[in-house]
Amino acid sequence: MIVTLLQLVGLFALLSVLAIGGGAGVIPQMQHAVVDVHHWMTGPQFLALFALSRSAPGPGSLIAVLIGQKAAGLAGGLVSGVAMFGPSSLLAFLTARLWLRGAGVDGWRSRVERALAPVAVGLTLASGIALLRGTEHGWAAYAVTLAATLLLSLTELNPAVMTAVGALVLLVLGAR
């Protein structure tokens, strides 16, 4: 049990600081570690927890708590949540202090924002593709994933609405 808790802390603390643009960017690494490396759950179980975390109120990174609970009970959920949100929260706090101090310094902030935007979009698309690999799929599923990624990256649409629309499109097309 202690070993599993330490593995959860190590995994989610690392993913926490790598989650540029939000938790969706680290879903492929999370899925690989949880399903393929540690075998805490199967691919379909991971997809079910991912869908639950996306449709529930709050940040999508709450999937870490669900994974921790599945792997090591209540203690696993607690340590996973702290490990997922703690390091990134501390990093965000420290970055915000630096950000505010450099407000008038030659536009470096806008350059950083422009540089990170494509990284966040790319990580989100990679997450969609990684999740899609765990399901039965065809061209329609890939097209819906690409469209949803673009729409979610460029607009303020609710991910739950996008999930419902994507499911409806695939249902109409007869795809799985």
Backbone angles phi, psi at 53, to 5 degrees: -70, -30
- Flag whether pLDDT at 60 surpasses 90: no
- Flag whether pLDDT at 2 surpasses 90: yes
- Flag whether pLDDT at 176 surpasses 80: no
On the 0-12 / 13-18 / 19+ scale of CB atoms within 10 A, 153 is: middle
Mean pLDDT (whole number) for 2-26: 90
Q: What percent of the chain has pLDDT over 90?
A: 35
Report the mean per-residue pLDDT for the chain. Answer: 86
* 8 vs 133, residue with greater confidence: 8
Measured CA to CA, the distance from residue 91 to residue 71 in angstroms comes to 27
- Flag whether pLDDT at 73 surpasses 70: yes
pTM for this entry: 0.69
pLDDT at position 85, please?
93
Q: What's the pLDDT tens digit per position in 120-161?
A: 778 777 777 777 776 666 788 888 888 888 888 888 888 888
pLDDT at position 120, please?
78
pLDDT at position 104, please?
64
Q: Per mean pLDDT, which range of 29-33, 107-111, 112-116, 163-167 is the poorest?
A: 107-111
Backbone angles phi, psi at 41, to 5 degrees: -165, 170
